[in-house]
């Protein structure tokens, strides 16, 4: 039986529709267009020699985007019927206790209203 390398294993011929990813990009493009620094938060592990490695120190539940307005905002992006995971709700509670702004947004219009 032929072995499958990691590049082939994760190169799917049928791509799924990533609505949340497209919304993240639209939000990032908008924020860049109005000169607000923003970026994605990396919450995945990494590959090493074909094996997936999860960082045991990685904090799960981090939001998708961070924005400086100039104060720090965390944005969790959800589309359709998607809801927060328990870890995301825990992180939102940490933010509330620390007086850090955290928003769950479902559209570009939500983001526009949050940053005004």
Boundaries of every domain in the chain: 16-42+50-115
Closest to 23 (Cα-Cα) out of 84, 60, 61, 65: 65
Q: Would you state the pLDDT for residue 14? A: 57
Strands of the sheet containing 72-77, edge to edge, are 38-40, 65-68, 72-77, 101-105
Are 74 and 64 within 8 A, CB to CB? no
- pLDDT tens for 78-89 read 999 999 999 999
Taking residue 44's Cβ as centre, other Cβ atoms within 10 Å add up to: 9
- pLDDT tens for 32-45 read 999 999 999 876 66
3-class DSSP state of 115: helix
Of the options 1.10.620.20, 3.40.1350.10, 3.20.20.70, 3.40.720.10, the CATH number for the domain spanning 16-42+50-115: 3.40.1350.10
CA-CA distance, 29 to 46, in Å (whole number)?
Answer: 26
Percentage of residues in the chain having pLDDT higher than 70: 83
pLDDT at 98 over 70: yes
Query: Which segment of 9-18, 46-55, 58-67 scores lowest on mean pLDDT?
Result: 9-18
Instruction: Check residue 21 and give left, alpha or beta (phi > 0: left; psi -120 to 50: alpha).
Output: alpha
- Give the pLDDT band (50/70/90) at residue 17: confident
Q: Please tell me the pTM assigned to this model.
A: 0.77
């Amino acid at each position: 039986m032929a072995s499958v390398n990691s590049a082939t294993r994760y190169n799917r011929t049928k791509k799924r529709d990533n609505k949340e990813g497209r919304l993240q990009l639209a939000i990032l493009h908008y924020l860049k267009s109005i000169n607000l620094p923003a970026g994605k938060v990396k919450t995945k592990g990494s590959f090493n020699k074909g094996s997936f490695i999860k960082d045991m120190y990685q904090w799960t539940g981090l939001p998708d985007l961070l924005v400086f307005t100039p104060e720090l905002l965390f944005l969790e992006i959800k589309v359709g019927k998607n809801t927060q995971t328990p870890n995301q709700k825990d992180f939102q509670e940490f933010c509330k206790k620390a007086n850090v702004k955290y928003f769950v947004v479902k559209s570009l219009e939500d983001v526009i209203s949050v940053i005004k």
